Structure 1
Amino acid sequence: MAITKFVPELWAAAVQMPFDRALVYAQPSVVNRKYEGEIRKMGDTVHVGTIADPTVRKYDKDTDLQVEDLADDQLDLKIDQGDYFNFRVNDVDKVQAAGDFQGPATQRAAFKMKDQLDRFIAGLHAQAMPANQLGTLEIAKDKPGQAYDTLVELSVTLDTADCPTDGRYVIVPPEFHGVLLRDERFVRVDAAGTDQGLRNGIVGRAAGFDVLKSNNSPAPKAGERVIQAGIPDAISVAQQIIETEALRSQARFADLVRGLNVYGAKVFHPEGIATATVKVVDTASAPATKTAK
């Protein structure tokens, strides 16, 4: 007997709930979805219109005002990524199973698809403008000031690029967070500015940032991890779980459940991202060294 009570919307919701809860790089405090619109299939493109900045001129009461036509352009956000799940539930296993099979299966599918999207967005750090890429730093575990100073440097870098201060975030790997926990400026509520987690993965505030922790921080080399700071307006994401369906297997006495997720992302404002590659080391005497970009 097939899954006769299958309702696509319910299965899609079961997939979406843990998917949204687990996002770090793809959550609204890190990226924006203002261009998402309607996505129907892989290969769709979201067209984003842009307008050049108007010219600001000196005013002279004895001179006629100059008029200019605004120049416009179009940037494309391509929906060129796709992931799917497709699992089988054998009739015999369904009968013999103690408990629900739908919940665990959909949750695991959601978390795996989440991980794919999160990793994809994490990889966009390389599109930060060159001046905002701080290079590689070595940080000793017992010198938390070095970790905190790295956040300060990222903040100053964004300031120099005229990046807005509202909504700034920084995503760090667990080992870097462990060093930060040894710095009282990060731990103390009065210094950090918050005593609770407000968003997915958030672990505190420091140097003007909401500090988030993620295992998906890119690792360009063994022992190195990329810290990414920025504002949500810098990266635009368009994503949707397109299809979730159940059907009867033609080859076995079983039901099939499958789903498709398509998405794309683009860095529209590279000046709104700053990065540092950090290597946490054990040696207490190790200085905070910086290598070439």
Structure 2
Amino acid sequence: MAVTSFIPEIWNAQLLTDFREQAVAAALTNREYEGNASSGNVVKINTAVAVQVKDYKANSRTTSADSVSTTSQDLLIDQEKNFDFYVDDIDKAQAAGSMDAFTRSAGEGMAEDSDKFILSTAVTGAGTALDSGGVALDDPEAAFNAIRDMRKALRKALVPGGQWVLLVNAEFEAVLLGASSKLTSVDTSGSPAGLRNASLGRLLNFDIYSTENLPTTAKAQAVALYRPSLAYVSQVEKTEALRAQDKFADRLRGLHVYGGKVIRPEGIVTWTDTSA
């Protein structure tokens, strides 16, 4: 008897991969302690205590020395994430023999995971938390005023004026980019591709970037950040391609161990829409 129900299938050589949120936060943090994390899972960060400035009066040209010291805080490398999966030989052949799409998807997933951790750490450890006072953010002027208030909080905390960035979610971005937006364009040609794509412009001394990796996505949220205030360490990041032992397949696995800490809380200000 003839087989009449067989329907041949044609596989396209290109894999359709999922959309992923681009990672931007890691490139905007303080990475200077990363070199100290080659061994161990704690980085000790020392901060100098402010030196006292005293009068040197005309009638008494004498001075005495003060003791100086440092304070220490620990940056824990306590986040451990991995991926591990098989790609069957048949599937690989039907996808033109390449594992690049799977590798890229896994790498982007790990970057997105660390971005969410970094921004959650920033929001939790911020020295100042501002909000909308129960009023919805609904026009560019209100968005401008929110950024102005974050700038004021940083100024009042005597935070240096350079290296200021502002990360906003899509809800904040949509209002900020209204018809009367005050954003100015900036040259981002020297930035990594991910940051170029996320860049919105410059306003009130902030380089502004859009990301959906902030803790709040349903309502407007923004984080104003003096970059040296947030430390991030990525200790190990690697991938391994292995041959499966019990099937005709390749095995791909990767490991990412990292940690982050707000080391200068006064250098971070958050703003959240708290309307009902």
TM-score range, shorter chain: 0.7 to 0.9
Report how many residues are paired: 249
CA drift of 1:63 comes to 3.5
Unaligned runs of 5+ in 2: 1-19
Tell whether 2:176 aligns with 1:184: no
1:40-59 deviation line (CA, Å, top 9, x unaligned) = 57x61112222211111111
Amino acid at match of 2:245: Q
CA contact (8 A) 1:139 1:146 kept: no
CA drift of 1:26 comes to 1.4
Structure index of larger Rg: 2
CA contact (8 A) 2:26 2:118 kept: yes
Q: Relative to 1, partners in 2 of residues 1:100 and 1:165: Cα closer, same or farther, differing over 3 Å?
A: farther
Residue 267 of structure 1: aligned partner: 262
Q: Give the RMSD, CA atoms, in angstroms.
A: 2.5
The one of 102, 106, 109 aligned to 1:105 = 102
- Distance in 2, matches of 1:86 and 1:206, equals 43
Residue 125 of structure 2: aligned partner: 127
* TM-score, normalised relative to structure 1: 0.77
CA drift of 1:87 comes to 1.5
Identity of aligned residues (%): 30
- Distance in 2, matches of 1:128 and 1:135, equals 13
Amino acid at match of 1:204: G
Residue 14 of structure 2: aligned partner: none
CA drift of 1:217 comes to 1.8
Q: Relative to 1, partners in 2 of residues 1:265 and 1:100: Cα closer, same or farther, differing over 3 Å?
A: same
Note the 1:50-61 alignment, pairs <5 A. Answer: 50-61=47-58
- Distance in 2, matches of 1:110 and 1:280, equals 36
CA contact (8 A) 1:139 1:147 kept: no
SS at match of 2:247: coil
Q: Relative to 1, partners in 2 of residues 1:245 and 1:195: Cα closer, same or farther, differing over 3 Å?
A: closer
The one of 148, 166, 169 aligned to 1:170 = 166
SS at match of 1:57: coil
Note the 1:66-215 alignment, pairs <5 A. Answer: 66-94=64-92, 96-124=93-121, 125-129=123-127, 132-137=128-133, 138-141=135-138, 143-187=139-183, 192=184, 194=186, 199=191, 200=195, 201-215=198-212
CA drift of 1:246 comes to 2.0
Tell whether 2:41 aligns with 1:44: yes
CA contact (8 A) 2:171 2:221 kept: no
